[in-house]
Every structure is written in C-alpha cells, then in structure tokens.
C-alpha cells in the first residue's frame, strides 16, 4: 500500500524534507526504540532548517541535514552504515542543485561525510562521479578523513553476521536523504547510503546515480530516494518523477504516484522518496511498509517512523 503525504508551505517560506530510509523494520519498532530515530531525524531537520531560515541556500541545507544523519550511527549512511559481505563500509552519496550541477561518489572508504565529498566533486572537479577517491584527494579538497574503523559499528557487525548465516533477511533500512527549496526559490537534493546489508563488495546502488537516487531542477522538483537500488536504477526513478511533471504536466504528487505504480509496485519493488516541487510543495511517499521521514513546512517537522 502506498502512503503519500503532501504539505504546502506558506508564501515566502522555505521547504525541507528528509528521509532516513524505507523498509519494513519500523513496523516492529516500539515507541521507545523509535525515540532515538525521532531524535536523529529532528536534529538533522533542524540543521537544515537553520540554514534555510537564515536565508541560506538549499544546497547548504540538504548537505547540513544529511551530514547529521551520516554522523548518527542509527542510520545507514556514514558512521553506522550497513556492511558488505566482507564487512566493509562502502559509502555512496550524491548531491544535485536545481541549477543542474551534480556530484557523486561510489564505494567511498575514508571520507567522514560522503555527502561533503560528493559536493566537493561537484564544486571542485570537472567530474560528476568518482569511485573511492584516495586520502590524498580528500586532503587536497579540504575534506575530513576518517580512520578505517570509524564507520563500522558493533550493531552492523552483528546484523551482517545474522544475514550471512541466514538468521535475518538482508533488510535495507536507513539510507538518508534531503530535499529543500530556499527562500530564493532554488532547490537541491542529497542522498547518502551504505547500501544493502551483505551486498557484494563493489556493488553500487541508485544513491550515487544521478536521475535514479537523486535529481533536482529549479522550477520543477528536487527528489531523494531510498529503497531497492537496482529497481530505482532501472526505473530512473527520481528523473521519472521530474519528467512526468515537466513533460506530462502532472502534479508532483500525481507524478510520484504514477512513477511508483508503474516503475516499482508493478515490478514488485519497494522504497520511498522525499520531493519538493518548484512551488515549494513537499511530497513524502513510500510503498515500502514504512519510512523514516521528517518534513516541513516550518521549524517543527512532522515525523513518520
Ligand atoms: N537505495 C539504497 C541502495 O540500494 C538502499 C536503501 O535505500 O535502503 O543502495
């Protein structure tokens, strides 16, 4: 069953929405277990909201929010990311502005905040996507370097062990992302993940693929996705939503519903996304049983757990 929430900010107000991953696990979360996730989502929302409320850029806001979630070990991005079959944290991240600039990184091992690395690739190189730039690259671009053990938590080690020994399904949960529209009307999106628990080393999902896990265009939309990465790549999900708005004249919510129905649900795949429209409207949607999200409008976010 698809869930969709829509909100429209007051005139002149910025918009912000975040996700902390879609999956099935939250159905089992008791309220006390949910509390730390709610705390993390709120802290991340506030980091982005502060930027927007001060008149800052949508790009700065989405990077600020995503960096907070990357540092929070509960979410599958940065520290606490899910581990590959050999126990590695291989981090994918992307960022895109409504002006059409984009940067992404796949399988990063040493950047403390992969979203900042994606941004540096966008702003400081001629490239869009790099695979695991080395420590010299990170230092040369002013990025914080993490020690190899920084990303790997005990919880994730145990989870991997359970998945590899068949005691748990290869649950996906916790990929993070943010979309924003600032008071100047510019939009941006960012997404960051450790991928799927027990994935093959070197597997790259939709997160760093522009148009699949992330997309932004001023006057149109900014979108950040989470879910079954291969399906999101095949359906070019983020771009498919924007294209329905642009070429078919769909509303943002209508475009999201159609993309999910035709490209995901019909093909037996699930996930979710957060989106802002060119007019600032916010759409949060998932066909997975649950998704962590925080959405405006305003300084106090509505949460879904
Ligand atoms: N989309 C991510 C990937 O496939 C995983 C997720 O969002 O849970 O790498």
DSSP 77: S
Whether pLDDT at 168 is above 80: no
Q: Please, what are the domains in the chain?
A: 3-304 (3.60.20.30)
Largest CA-CA distance found in the chain, in angstroms, rounded: 54
The residues, ordered by sequence, that sit 6+ positions from 237 with a Cβ below 8 Å of its Cβ are 206, 212, 213, 223, 225, 231, 259, 263, 264, 271, 273
In angstroms, what is the span from residue 195 Cα to ligand 1's centroid? 5
Which pLDDT belongs to residue 1? 86
Residue 156: C-alpha distances to residues 56, 74, 96, 134, 200 (Å): 35, 10, 29, 24, 16
Counting ligand 1 atoms within 8 A of each CB, the residue from 74, 175, 208, 238 with the most, and so the one to mutate, is: 175
Q: Does residue 297 have a cis bond before it (omega within 30 degrees)?
A: yes
Distance 39 CA to ligand 1 centre (A): 22
Which atom belonging to ligand 1 lies closest to the Cα atom of 227? 7
Q: Which residues line ligand 1 (CB under 6 A)?
A: 21, 172, 175, 193, 195-196, 205-207, 226-227, 229
Residue 284's beta-bridge partner residues?
5, 274
pLDDT at residue 69 above 90?
Answer: yes
Segment 73-99 shows an average pLDDT of 96
Lowest mean pLDDT among 8-22, 59-73, 164-178: 164-178
User: In whole numbers, what is the pLDDT of the chain averaged over residues?
Assistant: 94
Q: Check pLDDT > 80 for residue 170.
A: no
User: Contact at 8 Å (CB) between 55 and 168?
Assistant: no
Sequence-ordered list of residues with C-beta below 8 angstroms from that of 49, at least 6 positions apart, any chain? 14, 16, 61, 296, 299, 301
- pLDDT tops 90 at residue 255: yes
Q: Dump pLDDT digits (tens) for 198-239.
A: 999 999 999 999 999 999 999 999 999 999 999 999 999 999
Ligand 1: nearest atom to the Cα of 271: 7
pLDDT surpassing 60 at residue 55: yes
> What residue owns the CA closest to ligand 1's atom 4?
229
Both structure tokens of 297: 């409008």
Handedness of CA 252, 55, 293, 212 (dihedral sign): positive
For residue 212, what pLDDT is reported? 98
Whether residue 33 is predicted with pLDDT greater than 90 in this model: the reply is no
User: Region 269-277: what's the mean pLDDT?
Assistant: 96
Q: What pLDDT was estimated at residue 84?
A: 96
pLDDT of 46 higher than 70: yes
Q: Would the pLDDT of 194 be above 80? A: yes
Gap from CA of 66 to ligand 1 centroid (Å): 15
Task: Supply the Cα-derived Rg of the chain in whole angstroms.
Answer: 17
- 280 — phi, psi (to 5°)? 95, -5
pLDDT the model gives residue 173: 64
Burial of 233 (0-12, 13-18, 19+ CB in 10 A): middle
pLDDT reported for residue 148: 80
Q: How far is the CA of 181 from the centre of ligand 1 (A)?
A: 24
| pLDDT of 282 above 70 | yes
26 contact partners, CB below 8 Å, separation of at least 6: 34, 37, 173, 289, 290, 291, 292, 305
Sheet with 221-227, side-by-side order of all strands: 3-7, 282-286, 271-277, 221-227, 214-217
pLDDT of residue 30: 58
Is 125 one of the annotated active-site residues of the chain? no
- pLDDT range class, residue 172, cuts 50, 70, 90: low
């Amino acid at each position: 069953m698809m869930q969709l929430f829509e909100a429209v900010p007051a005139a002149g107000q910025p918009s912000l929405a975040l996700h902390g991953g879609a999956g099935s696990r939250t159905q089992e979360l008791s309220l006390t277990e949910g509390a730390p996730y709610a705390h993390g989502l709120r802290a991340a929302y506030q980091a982005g909201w502060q930027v927007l409320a001060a008149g800052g850029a949508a790009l700065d806001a989405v990077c600020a929010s995503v960096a907070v979630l990357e540092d929070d070990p509960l979410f599958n991005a940065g520290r606490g990311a899910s581990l590959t079959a050999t126990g590695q944290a291989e981090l994918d991240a992307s960022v895109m502005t409504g002006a059409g600039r984009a940067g992404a990184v796949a399988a990063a091992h040493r950047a403390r905040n992969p979203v900042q690395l994606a941004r540096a690739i966008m702003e400081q190189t001629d490239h869009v996507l790099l695979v695991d730039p080395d420590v010299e690259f990170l230092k040369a671009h002013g990025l914080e370097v993490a020690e190899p053990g920084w990303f790997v938590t005990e919880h994730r080690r145990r989870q991997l062990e359970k998945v590899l020994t068949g005691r748990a399904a290869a649950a996906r949960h916790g990929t993070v992302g943010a979309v924003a529209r600032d008071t100047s009307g510019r939009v941006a999106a960012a997404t960051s993940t450790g991928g799927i628990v027990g994935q093959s080393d070197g597997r790259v999902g939709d997160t760093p693929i522009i148009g699949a896990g992330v997309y932004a265009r001023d006057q149109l939309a900014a979108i950040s996705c989470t879910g079954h990465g291969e399906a999101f790549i095949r359906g070019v999900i983020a771009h498919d939503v924007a294209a329905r708005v642009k070429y078919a004249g769909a509303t943002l919510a209508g475009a999201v519903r159609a993309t999910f129905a035709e490209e995901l649900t019909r093909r037996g795949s699930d996930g979710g996304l957060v989106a802002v429209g060119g007019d600032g409207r916010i759409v949060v949607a998932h066909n997975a049983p649950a998704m962590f999200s925080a959405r405006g409008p305003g300084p106090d976010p509505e949460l879904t757990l």
